[in-house]
Amino acid sequence: MNSADFHNKSFIFLLLLVSAGLIVILLPFYGAVFWGVILSILFTPLYRQLLVKTNNRKNLAALGTLTACIIIVILPLIIIASSLVHEGATLFQKVKSGEINPALYTQEILDAAPAPIHRVLERVGLTDVKSFQDKLSQIAMQGSQLLATKALSIGQNTFQFVVGFAVMLYLMFFLLRDGTTLSMRVKQAIPLSAEHKRHLFNKFTTVIRATVKGNILVAITQGALGGLIFWILGIQAALLWAVIMAFLSLLPAVGASLIWAPVAIYFLATGALWQGITLIAFGVFVIGLVDNILRPILVGKDTKLPDYVVLISTLGGMAVFGLNGFVIGPLIAALFITMWDIFSTSRPLDRG
C-alpha cells in the first residue's frame, strides 16, 4: 500500500469516526435538530421574500421568519395542547363519576344488533354488560396509572423540553440565514454526479414539503371538520376527538373514519337516525373528499407516493422514531425509491 492510499483511507476512517461522534452527541436533541431543519425548509420561501423587503439584511429576515413561525405554528400548537389537556381531564372525570357510561352505550349497541351478530357476540362473552363494565374499569385504571406516569415523566423532562425547544429555534435561525451556503457545501461533499445530487435534493425538499405542509394541513382540515360536526351533534369532548381524527388522517386508507364511523353506527343502532345519517353523509362527502380536493392543490399529483407506501412507511417510522416518524418514514421511503431509480437508470445494461 502506497502512502497516498494509506493517507486517504486514514482520513476516511477519521471522518467516519468524528461523524459518528457528532451523531452520538446530537442524539439527545435529534427531535429538535430534525424539526429545526424541517421548519427551515418550509419557511425558506418566506425568508427569501423578507430578504428582498429588508434590502438583503439576513439577520433581520431570519428573525422575522422565526417570529412568523412562532406565531403561525408554535403558539397555536401550545393553545391547542393546553385546551386538549383540559378537555381530556374533564372527559376522564365524567367517565369516572358515571356521567358518561361507555358500558351503557356499548350495551345499547349490543341490544340493537341483529340476531346472528348477537349469537356470535354471546360466544365470545361480549353481551354481558357487567363483565364488560369490569373490563372497562380495569382498562380505565390502567390508563389512569399510565397517564399519571407520563405526567410525572413530562414534569421531570420539562427542562429538557425547554432546552430542546430553544435549540430548535436557535438552529432554525442559522439554517434560514446560512441555508444556501450550507446546502451548497453539503452538495459538494456528496460523491455523486451533479445530476444525481440535484435529483436527490429536489426529492428531499419535495417530500418534506409534501409530508409536512400538505399532509398536516389536510389532517388539520379533516380534524377540524370532524370536531365541528361532533360539536354540532352534541358529542362530548369534540376537541379531543378532533385532534384524534386529525392524527389518524395522517394515515391514508383509514383516516378519520376510524372515529366518526363507530359514532355513526351508535347513533343508528340507538334510533338517533338523523344524527347517524348526518354524520355518515358529512363524513363521506365532506371529510372524505377533503383529501381528494386539497392534497393535489397543496402537494401536487406528481409528488405523491403510493398510498400503500405512505401507510406502511408512516406506521413503521412512528414505531421506530415516535411522533417524528410520520415525516421520517415517508422521507426514507421516498429516498429509497429515488436511489434505486437512479441506480437502475444509470447502470449500463449487460449486452450478454
DSSP string, 220-261: HHHHHHHHHHHHHTT-S-HHHHHHHHHHHTTSTTTTTHHHHH
Whose cell is 451556503? That residue is 181
Q: Please enumerate in sequence order all residues whose Cβ is within 8 A of that of 246, keeping only pairs 6 or more positions apart, or say none.
A: 219, 220, 222, 223, 224, 226, 256
Averaged over 339-343, what is the pLDDT? 77
Q: Is the C-alpha dihedral spanning 279, 280, 282, 283 positive or negative?
A: positive
Whether residue 315 is predicted with pLDDT greater than 60 in this model: the reply is: yes
Q: How confident is the model at residue 158 (pLDDT cuts 50, 70, 90)?
A: low
Distance CA 23, CA 164 (A): 16
What per-residue confidence (pLDDT) applies to 98? 63
How confident is the prediction for the chain on average, in pLDDT? 76
Question: Which of 127, 140, 131 has its CA nearest to residue 100?
Answer: 140
Q: How confident is the model at residue 163 (pLDDT cuts 50, 70, 90)?
A: confident
What per-residue confidence (pLDDT) applies to 247? 81
Averaged over 265-294, what is the pLDDT? 83
What per-residue confidence (pLDDT) applies to 137? 54
**H or E stretch at 85:** helix 75-97
Average the pLDDT over each of 55-59, 254-258, 272-276, 295-299 and give the range with the smallest value.
Answer: 295-299
Averaged over 15-41, what is the pLDDT? 86
Averaged over 6-27, what is the pLDDT? 83
Residue with more model confidence, 102 or 308: 308
Angle formed at CA 46 by CA 44 and CA 50, multiple of 5 degrees: 115
What per-residue confidence (pLDDT) applies to 349? 47
Give 127's DSSP letter.
S
Residue 288 CB coordination number (10 Å): 16
Q: How confident is the model at residue 165 (pLDDT cuts 50, 70, 90)?
A: confident
The string over 194-233, giving b where at least 16 C-beta atoms fall within 10 Å of a residue's C-beta and e elsewhere, is eebbebbeebeebbbbbbbebbbbbbbbbbbbbbebbeeb
Indicate the pTM of the whole model: 0.69
What per-residue confidence (pLDDT) applies to 352? 44
Average the pLDDT over each of 7-16, 111-120, 208-217, 261-270 and give the range with the smallest value.
Answer: 111-120
What per-residue confidence (pLDDT) applies to 63? 92
Q: How confident is the model at residue 351 (pLDDT cuts 50, 70, 90)?
A: very low
Averaged over 53-70, what is the pLDDT? 90
For 111-152, write each residue's pLDDT tens digit.
655 566 556 556 655 555 555 555 555 555 555 455 445 444
End-to-end CA distance of the chain: 35
Average the pLDDT over each of 55-69, 131-145, 193-207, 225-239 and give the range with the smallest value.
Answer: 131-145
What per-residue confidence (pLDDT) applies to 64? 92
What per-residue confidence (pLDDT) applies to 283? 87
Long-range CB pairs of 140-148, under 8 A, 24+ apart, other chains included: 140/95, 140/96, 144/92, 147/92
DSSP helix/strand/coil, 137? helix
